[in-house]
Structure 1
Amino acid sequence: MSPRAVLIGPPGSGKSTVGRLLADRLGLAFRDTDADVELAAGKPVSDVFIEDGEETFRAMEADAVRRALAEHDGVLALGGGAILAEATRELLAGHQVVYLEVGLSNAVQRVGLASARPLLVLNPRSQLKKLMDARRPLYSGLATITVATDDRPPAEVVDEIAASLKE
């Protein structure tokens, strides 16, 4: 069993929105590893970060990704930082990995600067820029498909991904 598509990208790239629409388009189930972490922890990701620390969250996230890659055959969205774990990057080899590329201004608009994203608490715009700059090479290196999402409606992004997926 293997996901039909694995979506990666920074916060605000549209992984959840595009993922749900793509799954509907393909007639498949959608799964989000952040939701898996929340279910396992019994609390929101932001609370796991605050109460248990980033290290605990990252361990839970890596486990959620490992399980989802083995169990899920639909569309899978990974949390923005899931690709930081080397073991996760290794597990993604051989999968159709879709990098949803987004520029800073679009990401800021989508994320909202007052959101409950734990890594964006202090000076969110600056933090998001640093995060995006640091992770961009990882996203690009893992991607088998890269789709620009700036100033595009989600349905158009889904069209491009669906046309690019290999059977």
Structure 2
Amino acid sequence: MKNHKPRLAVDMDEVIADANAHHAAWYVETYGYRWSADDIESNSLRKLVAPEHDQAMEELLHQGDVFGVYDVMPGSQAALSKLMEKFDVFITTAAMEYPASCAPKFAWLQKHFPFIPALNIVFCGDKSILAADFLIDDNVRHFARFQGKGILFSAPHNLTVDYPHRVANWEEAVALLGN
């Protein structure tokens, strides 16, 4: 029997896709907000906008197309390519929160991460179903029932969350995973 590599599950939004930067630009363009870099880097955008503007973003997210236009997180392509030498890498996104996001997310992944096999892309809801050794995610709620080791990828909305395994960027992620 063939030896299998350990499995690495990787979230999409705010881990390999820069949703926050796109959303911030949308709020500025649509509603005229002006924030400092520190405001954006240390706060959830939801805390910085009026409730009705947050609701407008939710409606945009439910339409789904926005998920296909995010920029790639710096270093994520090279890091995942390198990590594939040691791990079976799966992209695991909680797409069921926004079902219309599935097609745009898949197209985005094929464009920016063509080296990830299509069969290694998992659209799910509850990530506890994942059978992986590691999960890199920006939301600690996905680690609650996950059987492997969760690694929190820093994002503006989680900077005050205390979690023992955290990385600030892809360079740190590769170092933590021993590559």
Q: Fold conserved (TM > 0.5)? A: no
Please identify which structure carries the higher strand content: 2
Tell me the TM-score normalized by structure 2: 0.32
Structure of larger gyration radius: 2
